[in-house]
Amino acid sequence: MTNFRSLRDVEVRLGALNVLVGLNGAGKSNFLDVIAFLGDATRADLAPALDRRAGFDRVAFRDARGARQTISIEVEAAVTRNSSLKATDTYTLEFSSDKLKSGRSERERYYLRRAESFAFKRTAGPGRRITVEGGLITFHKPEGGEDTASLREGSLGLSTLPKLSPEDGGEQVEALADMFASFRVFDVDVAAARQPSQERASERLHDDASNLAAFLAFLADRHPDRFDALQRDARAFIPGLERLQFTAIGGAGEGTVLTLVEQGLSGATTLQEASYGSIRALALLSLLYDPSPPRLTCIEEIDHGLHPHILDRLVELLREASGRTQFLIATHSPPLVNRLTPDELIVCERGADAASKIPAIAPEAVKAMEQELHGELGLGELWFSGALGGCPE
C-alpha cells in the first residue's frame, strides 16, 4: 500500500498470527485502520469511508512538499473457489482527490478519482481480470479482447459488481467483498459491555463487545463444549471466579443479564461491579472461542487490562483460534512478545521522513539473532533492548 496516512510505501505478508510492535506513531494503528477502511468502503462506499476519517486530506500521507497524493491499497488472498496460496486473488484500489475546475464559483471543489482492479487466478486454466476506471468497467478476456459496461459514477466496483452474473465474475467479486465486509476490528467498549444485552442470545459478537452477555448465552446454549472451555479459562483469567450465570429479563426473555459467581461471596457479582480487567478478559475469551469468526480479526492493545500471568495461555489461545481467523494484533508488551516466534512478530518504525517502515526488520534476521543468543533473551527483551528496532535509541 502507498500513501495511506504514515504508510507511504509498505508491503507486509501476513501469517496466521501477526503481532505489531513499535513506538506510538510508528504506524501500527494506521495499519489496522487500512483493514477497517476496506470494510467501511465495501459496506458504505469510498466517500463515506473517507468522511468517517475526516476526508481524503486527513487520510493521505501529508507530504512536506505539499504534493497531492494517490492512495493505493493492494490485497492478495486465496478467497474464491478456484484460488490457492500459489494462485491468489488480487484486488487493487487507487484513489486521489482532484480539484474540480469551474468558472461559476471561486470556491474550490474536489472530487474523487478512483480505479480498481480485480484479478482472479486459477490453479489450472485461465483466470479473470476486471478493471474499473471512473464509470467504465472493462472485462479482460483470457483469450484476448475486451468487453465493457458502465458503472454509476462515484460507485465502488467492490460494492456494485457482486450484482454481475456468475459468467461475468459477480460471484468472485462477491466473495472478495464479503471478506472485506466481514473484517473485524475488535475494540472493547467496557462501559457498553457491562450493560444487560437487549436480546436473549446473539450468534455474532459485536466489534465492541456491547452484546457480551447475549453472545456468551448463545455459546452456553448452542456450543456448550466451547462455553465450558471458555469458562475454565475465565477462572484462570479472573481469580476467584466459579462460574458465569445468566438471567433472562424483559418478561418473554427479551434480554440477558450476565453475572459472576465468585468463591467466598454470597450472591453474584454484576458486570457493573466487575473490574475493568475482568470485562476485557471475558470479551477477549468470547472472541477467541467464537465458532464462526471472520476471515481476519484485528485487535489493538490486546493485553490492556490483563495480568502478565495469563499471557502464556492467551498466546496459546490465539494460536488455536488462528486456525479459524487470521489475527493482526498491536501491543506494547515485552512479556507478550517474549512468548512469540520470529514469524509472528512485525516490528514497526517511523523514519526521519515521517513514513512508517513495516516491517522494520525481516523475520529471518530476527530468527538469526534469536538463535545466536541461545535463548538468553526472549523476543520481548530483544525488542525492548532496541536490537530489533521499534524502540527509543
Each residue of 5-59: pLDDT tens digit? Answer: 999 999 999 999 999 999 999 999 999 999 999 999 999 999 999 999 999 999 9
**Which grid cell sits at 62?**
501529508
Q: Which of 61-70, 158-167, 226-235 has the highest mean pLDDT?
A: 226-235
Query: How does pLDDT run across 296-333, given as a tens digit for each residue?
Result: 999 988 988 888 889 999 999 999 999 999 999 999 99
Question: Which residues lie closer than 8 Å to 360 by C-beta, 6 or more apart?
Answer: 22, 347, 348, 349, 388, 389, 390
Local structure of residue 130 (DSSP, 8 states):
E
Exposure of 258 in the CB half-sphere (CA atoms within 13 A) = 30
Least confidently predicted of 53-57, 97-101, 304-308, 336-340: 97-101
- What percent of the chain is modeled with pLDDT above 70? 93
pLDDT of residue 262 exceeding 70 = yes
Q: Sorting pLDDT into bands at 50, 70 and 90, what band is 153?
A: confident
Q: What is the pLDDT of residue 77?
A: 92
Average confidence (pLDDT) over 102-116: 70
Q: What is the pLDDT of residue 104?
A: 57
Q: Sorting pLDDT into bands at 50, 70 and 90, what band is 254?
A: confident
Q: 56 or 390, which is more confident? A: 56
Query: How does pLDDT run across 343-377, given as a tens digit for each residue?
Result: 999 999 998 889 999 999 998 999 999 888 877 88
- What percent of the chain is modeled with pLDDT above 90? 67
Q: What is the pLDDT of residue 83?
A: 85
Distance in angstroms (rounded) separating the CA atoms of residues 132 and 234: 49
Residue type, 163: K
Q: 365 or 84, which is more confident? A: 365
Q: 153 or 237, which is more confident? A: 237
Average confidence (pLDDT) over 112-136: 84
Distance in angstroms (rounded) separating the CA atoms of residues 10 and 353: 14
Nearest C-alpha neighbor of 334 from the set 283, 383, 380, 274: 380
Q: Which residues on adjacent β-strands are paired with residue 135?
A: none
Q: What is the pLDDT of residue 166?
A: 87
User: DSSP labels for 20-38?
Assistant: EE--TTSSHHHHHHHHHHH
Average confidence (pLDDT) over 242-246: 96
Distance of CA 255 to the CA centre of its chain: 29
* Pairing of the two strands 136-140 and 128-133: antiparallel
Q: What is the pLDDT of residue 159?
A: 87
Q: What is the pTM of this model?
A: 0.90
Average pLDDT, the chain: 90
Q: What is the pLDDT of residue 231?
A: 97
Q: 293 or 307, which is more confident? A: 293
Q: What is the pLDDT of residue 107?
A: 55
Average confidence (pLDDT) over 138-147: 85
Q: What is the pLDDT of residue 385?
A: 86
CA 316 to each of CA 115, 233, 331, 340, 363: distance values in angstroms, whole numbers, following the listed order: 41, 11, 16, 10, 20
Average confidence (pLDDT) over 132-155: 85
